[in-house]
A and B are shown apart, each in its own frame.
Chain A
């Protein structure tokens, strides 16, 4: 009997160390680095073959030169800061309003019945459709971009959260009530931790959307920012700069997601990803 007990505990210890390995960054970097190097090599080979002229398909060398130029002038950095600022503001606003709204929709049936169709409606509406209004209402600059980012990320966030809240197992609330968590305390100590894994996933999706939208918004309603920089490079027929700015946008997007991914390493949410 003691032996089987020990086996049970060993099993748990093993499960734990596997989980720890995954949490400590079980994903290896070299396969991705290898693919990246391979892609770069193919790009370089295609350009060396001289099938297409430089101004249609720039070579890695010219993009690297453009990158150096853009860095030296400080333009790339300034544009990235502007875009990042707009995303932070627009997405921050969406989170600040979307989390309470999602909790409300999830916990109050009547609110859900009343508002879910509207939330679904706006979620299905491409944020780009709001561009005319964004310019009419807010002109050019930070405000229209922030507005568009908000419209893009608020509704999916509300939808994901209300769904998460509505599917929290009933037994958690029974246990919570038994140990004194009612009303606002239940919301804080039961509902919120129970949906935290899904909340983090929704934040990652939302941040990705926000970063997508900022580029589009700046292309039509900006005088600065990475989106405007893309448009500017096109107008100046600087395809090398265009590619360099596209690469920057992609890299910042990956970095934002990696940063949010760190939240999934929190001990109190691991359970949500290990089933």
Chain B
């Protein structure tokens, strides 16, 4: 049972107000190929942090460090959170149905009745109750992403790591997923680190945006948004942050 929850186990016990992740002077390299440099960041409980950066700058690497599946080359990275990852590539098992894929994420400590109830709840939440016996290849791209979101939300993790979860979707589906993610997080509050290329997406969903530099990446600048997640794309603060990021990137 021990390895069942290995990645759920944080480095340190959770302590209400302390940051879930605190990274200090984190550097990482693949062999002689530096990817992250002197990275410093914190993730507060319940916070929605977006990380924006150029392709190949090390965003996925950063998430794997936060998940604990990779150790930083140097510097310190402390985790006080149990984490779950939404992968950049399709992370569903194609040989399992919607329900079986979501069931992977259920709390292994919970009893069978509680697990069944939670599974039904998750299927309702992502509106896939009618598709519980479908296989991933029988679902659309947006539906598959909803299954993945249900899988990470089903468990006891308090920090969700999302690696460009919507980048493969068309514009309309992406916008719909933004709204659905907002409402899912309203019913199941979690801290989120969202890696994205999409500046509008970051400004729409996040409380705080970190802009990473080119590889080897470090935090280049930081933008704050007023807390509260029901922002819309036309809101003044969203437009303002987008404009500031554009200015910073000289776009």
Residues of A at the B interface (CB closer than 8 Å) are 1, 4-5, 8-9, 11-12, 15-16, 19, 169, 171-172, 174-175, 177-180, 182, 190, 193-194, 196, 267-272, 274-275
User: What's the Cα separation between A194 and B3 when bound, in Å?
Assistant: 21
A12 touches B138 (CB 8 A): yes
B87 touches A4 (CB 8 A): no
Q: A175-B87, A178-B84, A180-B5 are in contact. Are A12 and B139 (CB under 8 A)?
A: yes
A residues in contact with B93, CB < 8 Å: 172, 175, 190, 193-194
Q: How far is the CB of A170 from chain B (nearest CB, A)?
A: 9
12 A-B pairs in the complex with CB atoms less than 8 angstroms apart? A8-B140, A12-B140, A16-B134, A171-B90, A174-B87, A193-B95, A193-B96, A267-B135, A268-B96, A268-B135, A271-B135, A275-B137
Q: A16-B134, A177-B6 are in contact. List 18 more A-B contacts (CB 8 A).
A: A9-B130, A12-B134, A172-B93, A174-B69, A178-B67, A178-B84, A179-B104, A180-B3, A180-B6, A180-B108, A182-B6, A190-B93, A193-B93, A269-B95, A270-B137, A271-B135, A274-B137, A275-B137
**Closest residue on chain A to residue B176 by CB atoms:** A1
Q: A1-B176, A8-B140, A174-B87 are in contact. Are A270 and B69 (CB under 8 A)?
A: no
User: What's the Cα separation between A224 and B146 when bound, in Å?
Assistant: 61
B95 touches A16 (CB 8 A): no
Number of interface residues of B (CB under 8 A): 34
From B85, B94, B135, contact of A178 by CB (8 A): B85
A271 touches B7 (CB 8 A): no
Q: Does B187 interact with chain A (Cβ within 8 Å)?
A: no
User: What's the Cα separation between A201 and B67 when bound, in Å?
Assistant: 37
User: What's the Cα separation between A172 and B131 when bound, in Å?
Assistant: 22
Residues of B at the A interface (CB closer than 8 Å) are 3-7, 67, 69, 84-85, 87, 89-91, 93-96, 104-105, 108, 130-131, 134-140, 142-143, 172-173, 176
A4 touches B90 (CB 8 A): no
Q: How far is the CB of A141 from chain B (nearest CB, A)?
A: 42
Q: How far is the CB of A82 from chain B (nearest CB, A)?
A: 38
User: What's the Cα separation between A178 and B89 when bound, in Å?
Assistant: 15
A residues in contact with B84, CB < 8 Å: 178
A171 touches B4 (CB 8 A): no
User: What's the Cα separation between A272 and B173 when bound, in Å?
Assistant: 26
From B4, B6, B95, B104, contact of A271 by CB (8 A): B95
User: What's the Cα separation between A19 and B176 when bound, in Å?
Assistant: 27
B residues in contact with A270, CB < 8 Å: 135, 137
User: What's the Cα separation between A270 and B95 when bound, in Å?
Assistant: 8
A271 touches B137 (CB 8 A): yes
Q: By CB atoms of chain A within 10 A, which of B105, B139, B172 has the most?
A: B139
A11 touches B7 (CB 8 A): no
A residues in contact with B173, CB < 8 Å: 8
Q: How far is the CB of A124 from chain B (nearest CB, A)?
A: 33
User: What's the Cα separation between A28 and B137 when bound, in Å?
Assistant: 25
Q: How far is the CB of A58 from chain B (nearest CB, A)?
A: 50
**Closest residue on chain A to residue B179 by CB atoms:** A1
A residues in contact with B67, CB < 8 Å: 178
Q: How far is the CB of A196 from chain B (nearest CB, A)?
A: 7
